[in-house]
Amino acid sequence: MSLPTLLSQHIVRRPQRIALLQHIAEQGSITRAAKSAGLSYKAAWDAIDELNNLALKPLVERSVGGKGGGGAKLSSEGERVLRLYQKLQVLQAQVLEAAEDASDLDLLSRLMLRTSARNQLHGKVTAIESQGRNDLIRLELAGGVSIDAQITHDSTLRLDLEPGAEVFALIKAGWMELLGIDQSPTSGNNCLKGIIEEVLDAEDGPSEVRIGLPNGQTLCALAEPLHLRTLGLGTDKSVLVQFSPSNVLLGTPL
């Protein structure tokens, strides 16, 4: 089966997240877009965060003071992706055959990726360092942000990883630890600096913390409310997010 055929079938099976772009464009409000798409407010923002993280450029931008609350609008890249998806809906086979840039098809394919990991980041391999039976894989994300992943050498071979290869980095929210801006991360860990955009408290259990990175991507971490209060962390506060390279799972496109 050809790659265009595989991509075509994958996109048709998983249209929900791309379709959310249409609702945002039409409604001009994340609250109304979520209702129109049959999603909860939280589920809609989860989908938006995933879309932004998997695209090379953010597709959806938050807007302050949006009518109806929770404002959001499509970026120019989001509008471009939506137009591409609409063309795919109308003349799927013809668009796949006539696409001028194969990267557009790759973009749509990775936006349909579904996984239990809350953090899904798209990047490229820049270096591979052998560490006995394991390899340390250096990844460059959007905006020049770099993280490391530690996988077995067998996994490196199975995924055909080499410098320049495109990969998905998957990190569970529970594997991320939040530090105060003046704290020192554990040696060997990944450490990214960001701004806390939102803290969603749970009735019983850890809070969900959304952290915006300087490159426009968003991370989701879990933290106990007491831990947040102790460090003085809350909305609009700077924060460090650390996680072990061994907790970064890697996947590759079809």
Residue 42 maps to which CATH number? 1.10.10.10
Among 111, 133, 151, the domain-final residue is 111
Write down the pLDDT at residue 252.
82
CATH code at position 154: 2.40.50.100
> Is residue 45 domain-shared with residue 84, that is, in the same domain?
yes
Higher pLDDT, 242 or 69: 242
Higher pLDDT, 233 or 61: 233
Residues 134, 99 share a domain:
no
My answer on whether 134 and 213 are in the same domain is no
pLDDT at 54: 78
Distance CA 223, CA 13 (A): 34
Q: How far is CA 100 from CA 94, 96, 104, in A?
A: 12, 9, 8
- Average per-residue pLDDT in the chain? 82
Does the pLDDT at position 21 exceed 60? Answer: yes
Say if residue 79 is in the same domain as residue 91.
Answer: yes
Q: Write out pLDDT tens, residues 121-167.
A: 889 999 999 999 999 999 999 888 999 999 999 999 988 899 999 99
Q: By percentage, how much of the chain surpasses pLDDT 90?
A: 43
Q: Are residues 161 and 193 in the same domain?
A: no
The strand order across the sheet containing 166-171 reads 146-152, 134-140, 119-131, 166-171, 249-251
Residue at a domain's end among 111, 141, 162: 111
Q: Are residues 62 and 17 in the same domain?
A: yes
Give pLDDT, residue 120: 85
d(CA 231, CA 52): 28
Give the residue from 95, 111, 127 where a domain finishes: 111
CA 40/CA 44 separation, integer angstroms: 6
Indicate the number of domains in the chain.
Answer: 3
Start-to-end CA span in the chain (Å):
12
Mean pLDDT of 216-221: 91
pTM metric for this prediction:
0.63
CA–CA separation, 111 and 92 (whole Å): 17
**Domain assignment of residue 195, given as a range:** 173-244
Whether residues 187 and 167 share a domain: the answer is: no
pLDDT (0 to 100) of residue 70? 52
| Per-residue pLDDT at 114 exceeds 70 | no
13: pLDDT strictly greater than 50: no
Q: Are residues 83 and 34 in the same domain?
A: yes
Confidence (pLDDT) at 48: 87
- Give the model confidence (pLDDT) of 171-210 as tens digits: 999 999 999 999 999 999 999 999 999 999 888 889 999 9
Same domain, 60 and 145: no
Residue carrying the six token digits 């490159």: 215
Confidence band of 95 (pLDDT split at 50, 70, 90): very low
Query: Do 98 and 81 fall into the same domain?
Result: yes
Residue with the larger pLDDT of the pair 8 and 119 = 119
pLDDT bin (cut points 50, 70, 90) of residue 112 is low
Give me the mean pLDDT over the 43-48 stretch: 86
pLDDT value for 113: 56
Looking at the fold, whether 96 and 30 belong to one and the same domain comes out as yes
Pairwise pLDDT comparison (109 vs 45), residue with the higher score: 45
